[in-house]
Amino acid sequence: MTLTKEKYENIANSLQYCTKAFIDGKHVDSSSGETFTTENPATGKEIAKITCCDERDVDRAVAAAREAFEDRRWAGLHPAERKKILCKFAELIDKNRDELAVMETLDSGKPIKDTVEIDLPETINTIEWHAEAADKMDGQLTSSGDQSISMIVREPIGVVAAVIPWNFPMLMATWKFAPILATGNSLIIKPAKLTTLTMLRLTEFAAEAGIPDGVLNVVPGHGDVAGKALALHPDVDLITFTGSTVVGKKLLEYSGQSNSKRVLLEMGGKSPSIVMPDIKDIDAAAEQLAFAIFWNMGENCSANSRLIVHRDIKDRLIERLIEKAKEWVTGDPLDPAFNLGAMVEKPHMEKVLGYIEKGKAEGAKLIYGGQQLFPDSGGYFVSPTIFDQVTPDMTIAREEIFGPVLSVLTCKDEKEAIAMANDSEYGLHASIYTDDLDTAHRMSRAVRAGTVSLNCYSEGDITTPFGGYKQSGFFGRDKSMLANSQYTELKTIWIPVR
């Protein structure tokens, strides 16, 4: 249930922040004693100082995780027992959902409406779903004849490191740690430096739920220090990452330089929406198109930031799209009346505004928005923005902006639309709008993307895998039973019958 702005402000004023690293079941300072500041993107003011971990702290966390894995305090539990503890973890999150929603909003700039209605429910559901899967990962017997028995079993891979992005701090963390823990692994999480508070708070609920010491560890800090140390560590068996393609490639290098640890990457996107001329409900399409780019201030790797529209329908669609864009109102993130909040930090806001200027300089036509909002607030707000007359070679059509900026491109037929959609180094998500069933099937197969949604913007649900083609991903998939299985090793056991 959504509360009033006043009640959320009261919760904000009463928050107690957990700011220390979590290693081997204890909240601890870093070896160096250093801290970093986290701020409220809506005001630019400091919220708290957070422990800043370095290589020594990563060594401590990995050692604790390895010891916990080797003595099987978690991996050795019956899967049904792990399920019970993880469900208790989810229950504690549910009991404290308003506190967590406010904390997430203050730390990230996300609108409270989203953290209450989307992030928290999906966080809880993710933990519960993967917990329920813990005792449902069956092995198998192969057809080896009467003279032998051959078994294929799955075992936890060991010590896993997870590097988490800042755009969905809690939800992306659970996409990683829920299947990792459900399958019996030990874990070290490196949350994004910009959004650390809720993950540190979750460690308190994890301990209360009964997750043993050393099984879940959290090391806040700089990506090029703590994150790099995890990726290079010889005793980490797998590293999973969601974030930029540039950083993902570095993690692959670090794996090769160390112990060739398994690497799972979910990276950038420049996702297209294609609107064909046979679509009848233009209003519904425009509503979904606006949601696909403006939701979460466009800070979403699967945001449909390229609109490829058939020339016969373009003018009517853009007219409706602008009307829908007006419904995406920016304001105080703690006020549930607003559905857009602040960009995560000043440098990111400046980067987005720089792309807007680049679009204008390269000849795109700005038809809506395109400016910083509320500069006197101290916060980092950018208006929803739409460019028309964008060509495929323009910077705003090729590079991931990670902000509320939509580029409109025009196509003359299906073949050109598909060519434009696939003309990208990324392949995370795509949406196709058509009322013709044959066209829907044909185009959804032709677009090279990990997820294709038809007549809507959707990433699917917890049962469907999420990840991308090309430079949007590297082997890994979040969500679904595939997420559980990728954190396990396959073992064959061969038994002669005498």
Phi and psi torsions of 410, nearest 5°: -110, 135
> Would you say how long the chain is, in residues?
498
18, 52, 53, 301: which is the annotated catalytic residue?
Answer: 301
39, 104, 266, 400: which is the annotated catalytic residue?
Answer: 266
Our CA angle for 27, 105, 430, nearest 5°, is 110
Report yes or no: 345 and 378 within 8 Å, Cβ to Cβ: no
- Distance, in Å, from the CA atom of 54 to the CA atom of 32, rounded to the nearest integer, reads 8
* Closest among 49, 41, 46 to 377, alpha carbons compared: 41
The HSE-up count of residue 205 (CA atoms within 13 Å, CB side) is: 21
* 379 burial type by CB count under 10 A (0-12 exposed, 13-18 middle, 19+ buried): buried
266 included as an active-site residue = yes
Range 200-220 burial, b when 16+ CB lie within 10 A, else e: bbbbebbbebebbbbbbbbbb
Which pair of tokens denotes residue 13? 């004023």
301 included as an active-site residue = yes
Q: Any idea which residues carry the catalytic annotation?
A: 266, 301
